[in-house]
Chain A
Amino acid sequence: MRAGSLEADSFEKRRWHQNRLEPLLLALSFVFLALNAAALSIAQPERDSSVWLVVAVWLVCAVAGSTLLRRTLTHCDPFIFPVTMFLSGWGLIIIERVAPNFAARQTIWLALAVILMIATAGFPRLIVLLRQYRYTLLFGGLALLVATIRFGSNPSGISGAPALWLSLGDFYFQPSEPLKIMLVVFLASYLAEQYAVVRVEHAAFGKTPTPRVVGPVLLMWGLSVIVLVWQRDLGTAAIFFLVFLTLVYVASGQLRLLIGGSILALAAGAAAYILFGVVRLRVDAWLNPWLEADGRAYQIVQSLIAVASGGVFGQGIGQGSPTYIPVIHSDFIFAALAEEWGLVGIVTALFCFALICMRGLRNTVELRPFPALLGVGLSALLAIQGFLIIGGVLKVVPLTGVTVPFMSYGGSSLITNFVLIGLMLRLSAGEQALAFPA
């Protein structure tokens, strides 16, 4: 093979992938969804036919998304979009099955999310602009956070429930979701600039971490602690800090920052355990849920029973009883998946999440520092969020109320994750698509 044609050749293979793989995966997903919709209407004949509407909207989103994406980005990754659509379609079916009155809203959110994903992926010079306006993004994000702490509310209307939403009439919006992406963008661009200098200094003089390095670590830790203290939002705080530690480690290659950061995180966690009832409850329920199976650990115990009764092949859609679990359509949607699709379903879903993160990482290999770190941060965001909530539902880690990306009910979460996918697709299209000034 000649060296000159290598680049063209790899793009040729990619195009083949995109032309064959994407339609194949979307078709398989469609058959899977349609089959389960049919099974659901047979298993629960008293249901109305709204499940078919959900499948139809999903199909329109998938076909339109795929067509538009091919027009806007010719060489983007062929795995990410169809796998994302598969997961979100599956999520929609589960929501329709366990909480039908939320499904219509969620289908509207999906349509909006796909549109925003295409807009993000097709935005010219987006990466350059993100870098230019990083401080605007950061302060915008922080302002949102402050606004939530000050004016936040909870859609359920229960007093004492964590107030993580901003309301505009009937429309509720969770600012911590877009804030995650804003922070990743800011940190990636900051670290891309600072760490080049720090690395050279380290190689040349063997210096210990300068304030330039330790500063942002402490800043992010402080921010996470604020989220934890004022909002009692363990999940978001954990995600902020873990994603940030990953980025710092990848940018600097210094293990001691990772170790120091983990010690800080553990210290904050231990303090939170002593000070806040919410955190103590979560950790206690994780260590031994069976002590209070009827009380405070009810949710996690029901979830474990659901997972266990799923077995290898699952109960079949509409034939299990996942609705025993409170707020099944949001945080605990994975328990419903485990009960009705079994181990096969769990393995497929986990593999799909891992695949998206892996492709996101792999595509950054040949990029410059800022887009590469951005790609790493976005993949880490998905991976950590997925791990925290799926691990929480399976009692691997203490439960932290975050959403399962693409699957859980929630507009802010779905839209944010699709915008994240749009950014990943843009990064995957190679250096030319990033439109760097020469």
Chain B
Amino acid sequence: MTPTPPDTQLVLLLFRLISGALLMGILAVLFIALWRDFRSAVEKTSVQRRIYGKLVEVVENDDGYEETAVSHPLLPLTSIGRAPTNTIALDDDFASGEHALLALREGQWWLEDRKSRNGTTINGLPIGDSVIVTDGDVIGVGNRRFRIHLE
């Protein structure tokens, strides 16, 4: 190979530097984009995991309902039933495996009956497929009653 003249060498050195800088630039872009992606994933899970209130177990007596010490956290998707996979797993013979679902949709809390054998109630009345619930409502699953406390 013939020796390259000095000005060509300078151009080649410049190209090498830019080429190296570009590689680092590509790395930087990938890092930043990945970081943003992870941030949004973290945000998503933390919103899903946020506790929106609690479900306090209540017992029926003569003047209505009396609250017990047992309470469960309320998540944007809270499933209730006898199966251990539910958010709130009940040991209750009258509850179905996957009995009911509380879900936050478009700013409203919805109570859904998941085709349970004995049905789900709201303030003592049976619900059809689904119903909007608010603070203070009492949900009935099997023999258990829960009052919703929103935060």
Binding site for B on A (CB under 8 A): 1-6, 9-10, 13, 17, 21, 24-25, 28-29, 31-32, 35-36, 38-39, 42-44, 78-79, 83, 86, 313-314, 316-317, 319, 341-342, 344-345, 347-348, 351-352, 355
Contacts and interface: CB of A to CB of B under 8 A. Distances in A.
B150 interface: no
B51 interface: no
Nearest to B107: A2
Interface residues of B, number: 36
* Interface residue SS majority, chain B: helix
A3 B104 contact: yes
Nearest to A90: B23
Nearest to A16: B36
22 contacts: A2-B106, A3-B48, A3-B76, A3-B104, A3-B105, A17-B33, A17-B37, A21-B29, A25-B29, A28-B25, A28-B26, A28-B29, A32-B19, A32-B23, A32-B26, A35-B15, A39-B19, A43-B4, A79-B30, A313-B16, A314-B16, A341-B19
Contacts of B131: none
Nearest to B22: A32
B44 to A, nearest CB: 6
Contacts of B27: 347-348, 351
A42 B47 contact: no
Given A3-B47, A316-B12, 16 more contacts: A1-B43, A2-B107, A5-B106, A6-B47, A25-B29, A32-B22, A35-B15, A36-B15, A42-B15, A43-B4, A79-B30, A83-B30, A86-B26, A313-B16, A316-B13, A341-B19
- Report which residue of B1, B16, B76 has the largest number of chain A beta carbons within 10 angstroms of its beta carbon: B16
A31 B20 contact: no
Given A24-B29, A25-B26, A79-B30, A4 B105 contact: yes
Nearest to A12: B40
Interface of B: 1, 4, 8, 11-13, 15-20, 22-27, 29-30, 33-34, 36-37, 40, 43-44, 47-48, 76-77, 103-107
A317 B20 CA distance: 11
A35 B22 CA distance: 10
Contacts of A355: 30, 34
Contacts of A39: 12, 15-16, 19
A430 to B, nearest CB: 14
Given A42-B11, A43-B12, A344 B29 contact: no
Contacts of A341: 19-20, 23
Contact of B40 (A13, A21, A29, A351): A13
Contact of A42 (B8, B30, B44): B8
Given A43-B12, A341-B19, A348 B104 contact: no
Nearest to A345: B23
Given A35-B15, A42-B8, A28 B22 contact: yes
Contacts of A314: 16, 20
A227 B129 CA distance: 58
Q: Nearest 7 CB-CB pairs, A to B?
A: A39-B15, A3-B76, A316-B16, A3-B104, A4-B106, A348-B23, A4-B105
A351 B30 CA distance: 9
B22 A316 contact: no
Contacts of B43: 1
- Report which residue of B11, B12, B27 has the largest number of chain A beta carbons within 10 angstroms of its beta carbon: B12
B19 A36 contact: yes
A425 to B, nearest CB: 16
Given A38-B15, A316-B12, A355-B34, A344 B24 contact: yes
Contacts of A1: 43, 47
A42 B105 contact: no
A99 B43 CA distance: 49
Nearest to A343: B20
Contacts of B104: 2-4
B3 to A, nearest CB: 12
